Structure 1
């Protein structure tokens, strides 16, 4: 390596080393910055706590001083009121010039705060006066007269209100030096005159203010502007803090301020136990936080991993369509996923903490579910393959569910409740019902095909026997017509019977041909037939069955009915089938009034009948109705009434009403039914007019 490259390499290595040092310093600064900030915050917290504690102590001292001052003012007012009452009591038995000085001297001995008691007339001239025995005489009699303005104002106010009044305070000088601050109390005397008591403000403070207030405090009377009048108590010590409280002493005619100054040393660095305790805890907090730093980092990593796991589990629970529900050992719901809430229609807040009956239990099954839940809470083991149940949606509809339950086990291995997975079976049941209905339709179609083949075979095989019956009946009639013997009545009845045999044989042949053409889908020849003829054709067979069942047959025709365009044979079969069904519906032991009503009329409006016809086409339709007074048709039977092979009779085939509706619809009409009043059912069908 050349001599020039070595310095360059050293320079590069130095730059890289310096860059690494800068990065390590930056990382070290970031690491210790939060700890330094924490230490600063702890010191600030300690200083704040000490300051708040000192301030709290100051506020407590001031509060106590304010309370003591208020109590002192209260005591002062009470003492002044007692003094006024004592002065008023002295004149209760009247004032006597000889006796009054003795009574006044006794009052002055009881009240040290009084300097002098005077009895004055209405013009404020002194009639008698007594000075206190506890101090030398302060006043000269010559100076105590009507010319005193303070006493004059106080007595005028007392006379006006009829109550004691006070004068403003004034200063009385001594000779050669000194003086006193005094105040007069003027009390009006009944019959004229006044009693005047002179107060020494200093002695008033000493006697009437609580003695405990003056220990370590200075008590003073001041004017409203703050001018100090008198003061007593301890003097202020050097290095103490002054606490001041003032209260107004409002007297009748005079106003004074009671001021109390308290001396207290400044609070220490640790003024109370709370501050010292907080300081110790703060120091311990720093030590504990250092120890918890590593644990905090580990916890943060664990919380991050746990948050990822919870988010993953939440995503899985929200994506599944299975309803999940957790309950504790008391049966309260503690968790539901969105799929369960959507299944029952209730929100999670509406389901949480429900004990006992839950809102998605059907009312009629609540007792059964309650017993099952009690068994589960008592330790009953649910079946591993699950069990079916019924839930109720918030809207009221019921739906089947398949429930799988398993115990909830915590990290310590103890059971804390039960976890259930619910699967809505509504769609599965619907698909199964559609499959079953499809199978039934396929089976019905196969049976109809078989019936068609049977009908074709029967129509082919029965044609010849019926033709032979008709031929024999015609031959019998010819023989009876040519025979000459026998009774005329018997001969006629036999001929009538044979004629009926021939007619019914011919009718049976027509029915078979009609069925044959119906199955083969051949067009039948329709003709114009009177509605009365259709009814009269089936009446003999209807009346025959009616006599057996004890049914009365009523027939009603409207006037001027037009002819109908129809296949006569098939329509007669429809009428006969409906009449037979109606009579069989009345074959009940409890029915005594059995009436079959056959009615033919013009078609009515849609609102008056179940026949759905346009009002403009009513004139082109004739309505036939068959009414009975049986037990009616239930809702379950009504849903499948026209279904092929459905019947309520053990000997029925279930094809009658289905074929009747098919025949009527092939004619363009409609077959319907409605309840009869007061009981029974009415079947109506329409046919077009010719």
Structure 2
């Protein structure tokens, strides 16, 4: 049937051989059955039929155990033709039913393995019939018409030719189908690879709303494991998503409020909406966040370029104002205006410095820090270099924080903490009492990640402003730049940390730095 060796075809033919030979033996041993005509040589017929039955059983058992089923099949077909020729000879009718049965193995050989071998098998069958007929003619038992022998021979040749042509066509078809199956399997694997790595969520359901495929992005959107949702009902993943799909199948409009803030697109893969469907899910909020970050990145590059261009004329203005302030004949009003120019120049220069710091942020150089010891040394440095902070700052290391080890850029972490402490000094002053700033190093539990909290006892942040505190240039002070918290979050993300704000229950603000994981302690890093 094809060049691919198919043992199943050989098993089918072996089963046919066993049934045929077994039927002959059964009819032979049944007394006075009348099923078989008068046999010319009953002893020879019985021996050949019994040997043929034994051979059929043995060949059936050996199917699939040879290295080459082509060789095995060829030997079996030849033995079939020889056995049928001997049965026809011993029955006294070499051109009768047994000659006709020889068409079966010849035809099967043409379908199973088309080629020159099929013509060889037909030649063996013709020679068997011819030899049996000639022997009967020589023995003078009874004459046989040559026309009948010629017709059977022509039939054998025709069967061999037709089965060979059909077998070759089937082989070509199967090779083509196999190639298409291989291409389809490769394409399916490629599509699965692409879908599994898409940022958008993809869910494929069948007509019964059973999930047939779900990528990790979809599982992350619903907070579940994608592998655990396979072959589950869609309603178990999301009732709202199942409702939206039912509305779509019924031709009803799908309300965007069902899955907010997700955007849903449904596509049918079959002829109608009742068949398999593909559900594409996009996180609008996340998409808007990415767009906003890209806009901010572009704005940052533009601002850095403007800062470079502004810095030189600003320096000239500041230097000229200083020279003007030293003039001996300045009036009081002029001195006041000169002081305003110098103050605003310093403020603008400070803003430019922060912008340039943001644009020149270097690639992190990660080191393994023993967090408790490093924070203790940094506090001692601040006591000497930052007196205003030292009066208000307290450091506590809790829950085994002395042995916490994290991987982070020490310079980035130092700059990050400086920004948070400077923000606390400016905005964390209470209406009454003394400002207090606390740094807390801890790990919430045995399996939790390390954290650093910077909290104050100020007025806190209004809930309306919480969403905007990380926006660049957003500030509540007239002399602020609005870049401190924005730069702090950028430093956190560069080190794969997370910066979150939370209000303090007793009043004030708390910024928590969460590290991605704890490092195994190897050695203390003095930094």
- Which has the larger share of strand? 1
So what's the TM-score if we normalise by structure 2? 0.32
Q: Choose between structure 1 and 2 for higher RCO, CA contacts under 8 A separated by at least 6 residues.
A: 2
Give the number of the structure whose alpha-carbon radius of gyration is greater.
1
So what's the TM-score if we normalise by structure 1? 0.26
- Which has the larger share of helix? 2
